[in-house]
Amino acid sequence: MHTTEKEQLSTGQSIIVLVNYMLAAGVFTLPRTTVEQAQTPDVWLSVILGGLLSMVTGLIIAWLGRRFPGQTFFQYIRKIVGWPIGMLLGFILIGYLVCIASFEMRMVQEVTSFFLLEGTPLWAIAGLFMWVSLYLCSGGISAVSRMCRVIVPITWTVFIVVCLLSLQIFDMDNLRPVLGEGMGPVWRSFKPTALTFTSGEALLFMMAFMEKPKQSVRVVVSSTLITMMFYIMAVVLCIGAFSTEGVVTRTWPFIDLIRSFEVKYLIFERFESLWLAIWIMQIFCTFSIAFYGAALGLSQLTRLDRQRCLFILLPMIYIVTEIPRNLNGLFDFGTGIGNFSILLFGMIPLPLLLLARLRRAGS
């Protein structure tokens, strides 16, 4: 094994980490991005299809990783395709993880400055967020896992409570008719779910730390189904409350959903500030997992100390975070990441698995 016993993750811990990686800022915008493409209320079917495709991709990556127990993608890729191509693919994955971390960071900046801390400089929000994450990642994957386990009960409970409270403005008629225009709109709105369901790439470095790599299939299936339920609830409730015409006119549909109802006689009559403050912790988990994976990969490819790699990547992530000039640029950036993930993780893992079998690489 290439990992220490202290750093190993149980099957349950692996599921929680993977769910936290998938469940992040997509909740804010997924209802709008899918409805814009479909123009029908059937986009919840697109979310299911996107989740199932992500599950298939994750299973292929899991089968690939099981051939190299205790090793990350950055270690075993060179055994499959050789040193030059292996190094190239390794740095491409690092760049992708940096982009994921940067996208999540910029989403936190935009939402926090608009809804919570108006007038606060964006660099101050990013600085606090990133330095705390660096401190967390310096403790290794076990520290990141513990953080995820602390946050999960809080974020999930508040999310479910908010969803239940929003039922008072929910109208089932806004979801009808089902498949009134056939499957065409469903397929059109399928692509926007790509960024939302990016998950399999986390297994490329997580499987090296799993106590039972053979349970990776269970980890992929369980985490994808859990995440799918959260996103389906967000999409269905937003469409039920605002209709398809109302969803496409809102920049942050799910946040507007929370702002659309009040609950009297409770401590909080309006929940958006509480929910946003808590959901930022969920995004923090996604950011930290991607940040840790990029630093781990850079360390294993260059043989530099992982702590040094964390400090090297920190300014790089901030620079990429500030590249989008406005909100539309940020959404375009997210679309580009999603398209690239389809190309990278939809087409490369299967050939790598077949090549590893042909070359008898791994166990």
Task: Note the pLDDT of residue 268.
Answer: 57
Residue 179 lies inside a defined structural domain of this protein: yes
Positive/negative CA dihedral, 335, 341, 343, 346: negative
- The domain containing residue 238 runs over which residues? 5-342
Residue 347 lies inside a defined structural domain of this protein: no
Domains contained in the chain, number: 1
Task: Note the pLDDT of residue 6.
Answer: 57
Residue 90 lies inside a defined structural domain of this protein: yes
Q: What is the mean pLDDT of residues 91-109?
A: 94
- pTM across the whole model: 0.92
Residue 67 lies inside a defined structural domain of this protein: yes
Report residue 277 as tokens.
Answer: 């403050």
Residue 356 lies inside a defined structural domain of this protein: no
Residue 322 lies inside a defined structural domain of this protein: yes
Task: Note the pLDDT of residue 5.
Answer: 43
Whether residue 19 is predicted with pLDDT greater than 90 in this model: the reply is yes
- Name the band, by pLDDT with cuts 50, 70 and 90, for residue 261: confident
**DSSP-assigned letters across all residues of 268-332:** -S--HHHHHHHHHHHHHHHHHHHHHHHHHHHHHHH---HHHHHHHHHHHHHHHHT---SHHHHHH
Residue 253 lies inside a defined structural domain of this protein: yes
Residue 65 lies inside a defined structural domain of this protein: yes
- Name the band, by pLDDT with cuts 50, 70 and 90, for residue 148: very high
Whether residue 284 is predicted with pLDDT greater than 80 in this model: the reply is yes
Q: Name the average pLDDT for the chain.
A: 88
Per-residue pLDDT reduced to its tens digit, 232-248 = 999 999 999 999 999 99
CATH number at residue 97: 1.20.1740.10
Task: Note the pLDDT of residue 1.
Answer: 39
For residue 357, the SS3 value is helix
- Name the band, by pLDDT with cuts 50, 70 and 90, for residue 4: very low
Are 333 and 326 in contact by the 8 Å Cβ rule? The answer is: no
Separation between Cα atoms, residue 317 and residue 103, nearest integer Å = 9
Separation between Cα atoms, residue 162 and residue 155, nearest integer Å = 11
Whether residue 264 is predicted with pLDDT greater than 80 in this model: the reply is no
Q: Which residues contact 114 (CB under 8 A, 6 or more apart)?
A: none
Q: Is the pLDDT higher at 182 or at 101? A: 101
